Amino acid sequence: MFSIVIQVLWGLPTTKVDSLLESSGLKQFTVNSIVDLDLYRESLVQVRKESYTLNFEEEFLEGVWAFSAPIFYPGGLRAALTVVGFASRLCESDKDTAIRGGLSAVGEISSRLGMPV
């Protein structure tokens, strides 16, 4: 799932997300792109549970992975932090480090914007 796009969808009501997905469809960027609407919706539910999204399957660009997490302020979703890397240059521990660091960073930024810790 393309990380930045999913973070934008994160903050929208489900009815709006459904409307957008059904009107525009899903574009196939690589052989691993999710183009099935039901599967994409399932992925969005999982992302909302986990509070971040991963794109280790090179769904948007071949050879590239991404991590993205939302930044909140008291009014809701404010922004997203995205970390992008070359798949060939990262091992699993690098990805884990990026995830932990990214989650820590969005927590700190959200806190500074007034979200309770």
β-sheet with 76-86: strand ranges across: 53-55, 64-73, 76-86
* pTM of this structure: 0.72
Q: Is residue 67 part of a domain?
A: yes
Which domain CATH number covers 10?
3.30.450.40
The domain of 96 spans 3-112
Residue 117 falls inside a structural domain: no
* 106 lies in some domain: yes
pLDDT at 2: 47
At 9 the pLDDT is 65
pLDDT of residue 109: 95
| % of residues, the chain, pLDDT over 90 | 14
Residue 12 within a domain: yes
Q: Which residues pair with 64 in a beta bridge?
A: 86
CA pair distance 61, 65, nearest whole angstrom: 8
Per-residue confidence (pLDDT) for residue 25, from 0 to 100: 73
Name the band, by pLDDT with cuts 50, 70 and 90, for residue 108. very high
- Sheet strands (E) in the chain: 53-55, 64-73, 76-86
| CA gap 76, 58 in Å, rounded | 29
9-59 tens-digit pLDDT: 666 677 877 787 777 777 777 777 777 888 877 777 777 787 888 776 666
| Higher-pLDDT residue of 91, 101 | 101
**For the chain, what is the domain count?**
1
> What pLDDT sits at residue 105?
95
pLDDT category at 7 given cuts 50, 70, 90 is low
Which is it for strands 53-55 and 64-73: parallel, antiparallel or unpaired?
Answer: antiparallel
Distance CA 99, CA 83 (A): 9
For residue 76, tell me if it sits in a domain. yes
